[in-house]
Structure 1
Amino acid sequence: MKGVNHFLVVFAFLALASTLASASDPSSLMDFCVALNGPKNAGMHSYFVNGKFCKDPKLATADDFFFSGLDKAGNTSNAVGSKVTPVNADQIPGLNTLGISLVRTDYAPYGGLNPPHSHPRGTEILVVIKGELYVGFVTSNPDNRFFTKVLKTGDVFVFPVGLIHFQLNIGKTDAIAFAGLSSQNPGVIIIANAVFDSNPPINPGVLTKAFKLEKKVAEYLQTQF
């Protein structure tokens, strides 16, 4: 019986370790794997990792790990009044397989919104560089608890992986925030777009029942995206 209990403890520990290990992108088995758009110029010893061909490590240069341009403001003259500028393996090839990425978000004065969205593969840690943001996230069912905070310059907030969250500029000037994500490809699901702008469109009857709307309202919302 003692041996059985010991086995169960070990099994539980291994299961927990496996769960923790899968909480972010898998660890690389090499120093780096500089991404290429195709096998051309990859050298004799090319690899295909995370959906990208990798450059021969001997051909890598410092420029493969460099990006310039996050000092430039994003264009916020759009419907939501915000612009997200990503820095991932597409912008820095050397980020491929390293399990992290970065974004800069610009918000138009008073009302610039990074609308409710989620990152299915990454936790986000956000720091406000300029301005004042009202931010929040909602936990999963059944509680759907809402965690919210007003952030000022220098404040930091975390959005757990997979949870719906947003940021709204409540200041009179433009705002800027930077965020790190625990995946080289965290993905983004913008809730309104996914629901009302799917391709092909979701049957309005589904939206009518799910959101307790009149059918004509659901159909109208589908025309707005």
Structure 2
Amino acid sequence: MKNLTFSFFILFLLGSHSNAIEIDYCVGDPSLPRGPQGYGCKDSSTLTVDDFIFTGFRGKKSITNIFQNNITTATVIEYPALNGQGISMARLDFGVGGVIPVHSHRTSEIIVVVKGTIIAGFIDTNNTAYYKTLEVGDVMIFPQSMLHFQVNVGRTVATAYVSLNGANPAVQLTPPSLFAGNLPAELASQITLLSRKEVMRMKRLFGTA
């Protein structure tokens, strides 16, 4: 009986740790309900090679926002073929002096610079900042959920590509979270130790005051 129980235990462990899949892919169908594992699958009989291609990174990007950047995302929302694949990408374009402000994801991120010079870094839970000037071809990892940022410190526009280990990594930009939403100025002042005057200046920058 003991041997039989042990055998069932081993089978359970093997089954619970299996990475086997029953289908090759599941191109997301945004018209179907979305659950914790992503979208339901598009009918495989209707798929073509174009369902697996994303062309959104092509061409020159317009840089007009307050941070002087342009972020082109290729998550499952824009690129349904990523559904269930555990990966996504983004193209980052920086104007001169442009930044990707402090932000976080629910995933890890890796960046490679393809044009220009940037400073990239992250801040860990001990409040230690790890940052360095990156040149073309340099790569840096930002651990999962850590606050991180990028700044163009060159004299020309800069471009980088990032990959994240989630099909829908989400992003929370710290400045807009504090000053572009519905958080009252009084509370924003209290939790940031900024004066109400400075908080209102920030809210005006984001058009919420």
Whether TM-score is above 0.5 comes out as yes
Question: Are residues 36 and 154 of structure 1, via their aligned partners in 2, closer, same or farther at CA, if it must alter by over 3 Å?
Answer: same
Identity %: 32
8 Å contact kept, 1:89–1:184: yes
User: How far did 1:48 drift?
Assistant: 5.8
Aligned 1:163-182 pairs, distance under 5 A: 163-182=146-165
Question: Are residues 90 and 207 of structure 1, via their aligned partners in 2, closer, same or farther at CA, if it must alter by over 3 Å?
Answer: closer
1:218 matched to which residue of 2?
199
Partners of 1:57 and 1:162 in 2: CA distance: 34
- The one-letter code of the counterpart of 2:204 is T
User: How far did 1:30 drift?
Assistant: 2.7
User: How far did 1:112 drift?
Assistant: 1.0
8 Å contact kept, 2:28–2:38: no
Aligned with 1:32: secondary structure?
coil
Q: TM-score, normalised by structure 1?
A: 0.77
Confirm or deny that 1:160 pairs with 2:139.
Answer: no
- The one-letter code of the counterpart of 2:58 is D
Aligned with 2:40: secondary structure?
strand
Confirm or deny that 1:139 pairs with 2:143.
Answer: no
1:43 matched to which residue of 2?
none
1:95 matched to which residue of 2?
82
User: How far did 1:27 drift?
Assistant: 8.5
Confirm or deny that 1:127 pairs with 2:112.
Answer: yes
Question: Are residues 186 and 134 of structure 1, via their aligned partners in 2, closer, same or farther at CA, if it must alter by over 3 Å?
Answer: same
Partners of 2:88 and 2:155 in 1: CA distance: 30
Question: Are residues 69 and 218 of structure 1, via their aligned partners in 2, closer, same or farther at CA, if it must alter by over 3 Å?
Answer: closer
The correspondence for 2:167, drawn from 184, 195, 202, is 184
User: How far did 1:77 drift?
Assistant: 2.2
Aligned with 2:198: secondary structure?
helix
Aligned length: 192
Aligned with 1:36: secondary structure?
coil
Partners of 1:219 and 1:60 in 2: CA distance: 51
Aligned with 1:35: secondary structure?
coil
**Aligned alpha-carbon RMSD (Å):** 2.5
1:115 matched to which residue of 2?
101
Q: Which runs of 5+ in 2 are unaligned?
A: 1-12
Aligned 1:64-75 pairs, distance under 5 A: 64-75=51-62
8 Å contact kept, 1:74–1:105: no
